[in-house]
Each structure stands twice: as C-alpha cells, then as structure tokens.
Structure 1
Amino acid sequence: MKQKTKVNSEMKREYAISSETIGILPNFDENGFLNSKICKKDGISIAGISPFDLIDTNLRFRGSSMRGALDGAQAILNKKNMNPLILDRERDIILFPCRSPIREDCVWLSLRHVKSYKPSGVRHTQVELSNDSTIILDVSMHTFSKKMHRAYELRYKIQAQTLEFEEKAMEAGVRYHLMKGEVGMNYEGGGLVE
C-alpha cells in the first residue's frame, strides 16, 4: 500500500531531479518508511519522501503534477497503465517506471541515461547506465524493453506534436483590431484590417 504524505510545491535542493539524475529507487529506512535513493552522475543521495512523491514534488515545482504528467502521457500514447512521463521537455528529462508507479518497489529511470540492457537470468534485467554503473532490476528483459520503447514513443510523439503546433502558430493569419467598447467590459471589433 502506498504511503501517503503531504506534497507541496516547495523544493529542497537535494530533492531536485535534473538532467544529471539517472534513476530514483525505493529505499526503506530503519523504521520502515519509504524514502528515495536518487542516483545521479556524481553519486547517490537519499531524499526523505517516496519516489512517487519526489517526482510529484518536482513536477509541481515546474507547474504540473504527477496526475497531470501521467494523464498527458496516457492521452499522447493512448495507453492506460505504467506510462513514462515528461518531467522537463526542454531538458529532455523523461522518466519511466520499471513497475507500476503506485507500487512501493517501483524503480524510475531516466531515458537519456540508459546506455544498454541485457537479460540477467529469466526474470531480471541488467541495465548499464550513462556513468557506466549498472543496476539489476527484477523485471524481465521483454518487459523492460517495452517500457523503454514506450518512453521513446512518448519522446517522439511530443516532439512531433510540438513541431506541428509551432509551425501552425507561425503561419501568417488575418489582422484585426480590437478595442474595449464604451459600454460594457467586452472588447469589440475583430474586423479585418487592410
């Protein structure tokens, strides 16, 4: 059962997920409370909140939320469960869960930091990370591969949608002139300006 904690948009520096963040792992303290082990290129630190809440806090700091990011990924991918999410599109920070995000044992990896992966027995996958570290996950290589492909699909689709939107926004349109009417609160006009 997922541990409930109050999450707000206040960001502690040590909780920040950046482009240097490789993965976020569950880590239970001596009292059994779920914390996060944050793996970065330059080392590992512990955050005093669960991975789910850590990611949610980072998303809220950027003006979104875990719910919004997962709903957005679901709409783009048209898939219901265990979707990756975009934490920061401009910095290409895409995180994907190796299990269901609501499970306490869910490991989140950053797509940009997965160098390679291979089977490690029947039900495990060894992942080589961008800093040449490795992690053995308790998911099959087939399952891990599907999650990687889904993260790449999300990256591709969001880039394609953004490009299409920006191209349409830059197309020449019609000119108009609006001004507040003498009576009321509405802006009036909208007639074409020659």
Structure 2
Amino acid sequence: MEGTNSTYLVEYEINPDTMAVLPIEIGNNTCSRVLEVEGEYVVTMKPTEIVDRSCRYFGSSLKGRQEGTREIMGVTHKAPIIVEASNKIFLFPTASPTKQECAWLSHNYVSDCKFSLHEETTVIFTNKQAIQLQISKGSFQNQLHRTAQLRTIVTNRMDKPNKRINFVINPQSNDNLPNKTGI
C-alpha cells in the first residue's frame, strides 16, 4: 500500500478521528483505505458499506441520512450526510455513492485543496497528509460548500433548545409579555 504500514480490518466504524474512506482495488474486490488522524487501515468493506454501517451504528442508515439531508436542504444527488451530529461527523461523497470510485471525506479535516487541469484535486488534511482524487474543482468546491451549509443548519438547530432553556431559567423582563387576562 504505497509503502505505508496499514492495519488490515474486516469491518470499521467511522469515528471522530476518521478523515477519509477511499476505494481501493485488492484483487477483484473493492475495499477501503481508511485514513485517520494518526493511522491508516485497509478494510475489506466498500467505502459506502462502511458509511452505511457507521450510520446504522448511530441509529440510522445511509439512505436515512441522505433523506434527512434532502429534507433539510433539498439536496438529492451526492448529498453530504451527518453520520453523528454531537461528535460533528459530517461526510461528503466525491461521486455518486452508487459508483465504485466514490470516496467519503470528513468535512472537519479538509484543510486545503489544490486543483489540476485534468479534473484532479489534491486534498490536504489538517494533519498535513495529502491525497489525490479524480474530482473536478467545481464539483469538489460544491461538495465542500454543501457540507458546510449542512453543518451550519444542523449546529444552529442543535443550539436552539439551549437558547430556549436559558430563557426559561433566566427570563427577561415580563413587561413585554401580553397580559393573559386581557386587561
């Protein structure tokens, strides 16, 4: 595996340290190369199988998460997803999840990117590790933007209950509230 020492796994669940789930061919099988902040794994599952398994671990499925994104933002194709909101695990696909070349990237770890003329993108993660993907500049930027939008919407929704609780605990003046007696 390109000179790296990878640990081989039969199954894997995405966690807060997961940066990317990339497709690789081993023999006649599509498997996954999983990049974490401080390690790398080769997993015998396809990338989309890992994403679906991880969504199920957190109580949904890939299809359910895609439907949630469609409901929140109206995105139907190559939808970014929330794997687990409280740990801020938001992923986006680089192609249709039905295609073998689809990789999944964690929005949280994408630090920078460089684009070539041949629809190739170099993604630089927060730990300075870089990978090359077959995705155009426009498509990559669109996926990054959509995922940022999803994160913002979901984070704001998660913060709203705390604002309501704070109002109940520390109510402002009652002077501006309507009089219930109508007087």
How does the TM-score come out when normalised to structure 1? 0.76
Which residue type is aligned with residue 133 of structure 1?
Q
Q: Distance in 1 between matches of 2:11 and 2:45?
A: 11
Offset at residue 19 of structure 1 (A): 1.1
Of 64, 70, 73, which residue of structure 2 is paired with 1:77? 73
What do the CA deviations read for 1:149-175 (whole angstroms, capped 9, x no partner)? 000000001112222355457765xxx
Structure 2 distance, partners of 1:29, 1:41, is 23
* Mapped pair 1:150 → 2:154: no
* Structure 1 residue matching 2:132: 3-state secondary structure: strand
Written as runs of structure 1 = structure 2, the 5 A alignment for 1:88-99 is: 88-99=84-95
**Aligned-pair distance for 1:135?**
1.1
Displacement of 1:103 in angstroms is 0.7
Give matches, 1:30-179, under 5 Å.
Answer: 30=27, 32-168=28-164
* Match among 12, 23, 26 for residue 15 of structure 1: 12
Counterparts of 1:13 and 1:167, CA distance in 2: 43
- Asked if 2 retains the 8 angstrom alpha-carbon contact of 1:56 and 1:65, the reply is yes
Deviation track 1:36-86 (CA, whole Å, cap 9, x = no partner) reads 111111222111111111111111111111111110011111121111101
Shift, 1:121, TM fit: 2.3
Larger Rg: 1
Partner amino acid for 2:117? Answer: G
Q: CA deviation at 1:125?
A: 1.1
Which one-letter code corresponds to 2:34 in the other structure?
A: I
CA distance, structure 2, for counterparts of residue 48 and residue 125 of structure 1: 25
The answer to whether the 8 Å contact 2:10/2:44 transfers is no
Matched, 1:24 2:18: no
Q: For each residue in 1:81-104, what CA deviation from the matched residue of structure 2 results, as whole angstroms up to 9, or x when unmatched?
A: 111101111111101001111111
Paired residues in the alignment total 160
The percentage of counterpart residues that share the same residue type is 27
Q: Distance in 2 between matches of 1:123 and 1:27?
A: 19
Q: TM-score scaled by structure 2?
A: 0.81
Q: 8 Å contact 1:120–1:136 — kept in the other structure?
A: no
2:174 corresponding residue in structure 1: none
